Structures are given as C-alpha cells and as structure tokens.
Amino acid sequence: MMRNKAQIKEILDKYYIKYNNPDFIANDPISIPHRFSLKQDIEITAFWTSMIAWGRRNMIIKNATRLFELMDNSPYDFIVNHKEKDRKRFLDFKHRTFQPTDTLYFLEFLQWYYRHNESLETAFSQWIKPDDENIKPALTGFHNLFFSLVNAPERTKKHVATPERKSTCKRLNMFLRWMVRKDDNGVDFGLWNKIKPAQLMIPVDVHVDRISRHLGLLTRKQRDWLAVEEITSNLKKIDPDDPVKYDFALFGIGVMEEF
C-alpha cells in the first residue's frame, strides 16, 4: 500500500518512540556490549556480537555471552595480551556457520589491530570523508583491511560483508548504528564521532525488507546493497540527519507487530 510522506513519518515516528528505549535492550543482541563500560570492550563485544547476529536472538545472546566468558569477560585485555596457547579454549566455539576457523582469525585480526590502534573507529573512519554521502567506502575499506593479514581464511569473508559483493551488509550497518548514533534514550552508544549519523545506512533483514515494501519505502525486487540505498534514501527524506533511527521502527514493527 502506497502512503504519502506525512503518513509514513507518522507511522515511523510512533514506533521509533515505542522501541527506542532501554526496555528494548534486554532481549536484543545490543544487550551484550551494554554489559561493559570500557570503550574498547564495548567496541569489541559490539563488533563480534553483530557479526554473529543472525538466527534467534536468544541464541545470539547465549553464544555471545559464552564467547566473552572465554575472554574472562575482559575482552580488550584478553585481545591485546593473550598468547597463541590461549586460543585453544575457542576451538569448541561455534555459532551456526561461524566456526572455530573464523573465531581464530577474528582473534588474530583484533589482536594485531588493537596493538597498533586505540579504537576500532579508525578501521572504518579512515576510508570515509566528511562529505561522502554514506558509509559505503568505510564498509569496503574495513572489509579489505580486515582480510589484509597474510593468512586470512577465504571462508571467513562471508561473515564480514562488503558492498562490493552487493551485500546488504546488514550486520556491519547495525554495528555502525550502535557505535555512531547519538540520542538520550540509552540504546545506541554514540561513542564514535568521525562518522556522521547522516552517513549511516539502514540494516536490512527480512523484517525491515517486508515493512519497507509495505510502506512504499522499497520497490527494488532484490534484497541487496541497492535496496539498502533505496530505503535509506527514502528515510533521509523524512529525517536527513538521522535516517537510521527508523531501524527501531521498521525492525520493531516487523518482529513485534501485526502490520
């Protein structure tokens, strides 16, 4: 059903207000990084949790909890200081198709990265200019950086997406929403300043896809990067400075509401 801009804004604002509140946190994967206070702990747990965020939310939370327990619930300290032998404890860790090979490479990359950099923000922000329309170059640059180590497994590339492969990059877009968006509601962290909320792209999954089509925000048949661009472009017509705040509405409606 096609609706006009005012009708769409009314619907989206209603559900944005409903779901962008701390009550949303407990049953969502974002609850994992909310357990931590150190900036690097939040970055690491938010990044890794978002990378395994597919399937049932309770299982994502359960497996992410176990993953960081294996790091003694001090992920930054563990990442930077652990020895090769300490990685053995992760050989039994799996989440769906995320296998030990992937876990071991994540550990290797994050250790290499954090031994040379203070924040994961730079891994994204170094590829983007203030006047870039969106974060596409940041996603592409991060993907290339992430797999730049000599023994990067080919199979792990399916877990860290890139627009170059026309992927929606749903999990990376969700992670960047968590790190970049700023408001007073206490859900997103807003820890990063070098990427603007206006440059973020909507995380598109089956729920966001379905509701976006229902509202007339998406007409493209495929669910791919161009679909992400179409939805985000339409959301920018409603809020040019913070279009991705409506992820709360689109996802919330798709999962929680009969719509």
Paired tokens of 41: 């702990």
Q: What is the pLDDT of residues 136-166, one digit of tens each?
A: 999 999 999 999 999 999 999 999 999 999 9
Residue 122: how many CB atoms within 10 A of its CB? 15
User: Mean pLDDT, to the nearest integer, of 176-187?
Assistant: 96
d(CA 199, CA 67): 31
pLDDT at position 220 is 96
Contact assessment for residue 146 and residue 109, using Cβ atoms and an 8 Å cutoff: yes
Angstrom distance (rounded) from CA 221 to CA 236 = 21
Give the Cα separation of 227 and 217 in Å (integer): 10
Radius of gyration for the chain, computed over Cα atoms and rounded to the nearest angstrom: 18
Going by pLDDT thresholds of 50, 70 and 90, the confidence category of residue 1 is very low
- Give the tens place of pLDDT for each residue, 206-250: 999 999 999 999 999 999 999 999 999 999 999 999 999 999 999
Q: Tokens 């705040």, residue? A: 245
Contact 163, 122 (CB under 8 A): no
The residues pairing with 95 across neighbouring beta strands, listed in sequence order, are 98
Query: Are the CB atoms for 214 and 191 separated by under 8 Å?
Result: no
CA–CA separation, 40 vs 191, rounded Å?
10
Q: Give residue-wise pLDDT tens across range 64-106.
A: 999 999 999 999 999 999 999 999 999 999 999 999 999 999 9
Cα–Cα dist 11/235, whole Å: 12
- Domain locations in the chain as residue ranges: 5-256
- What's residue 23's pLDDT? 92
Range 163-178 average pLDDT? 97
Here the tokens at position 199 are: 């440059």
Give this prediction's pTM. Answer: 0.96
- What was the pLDDT predicted at 259? 64
Res. 202: pLDDT tops 80: yes
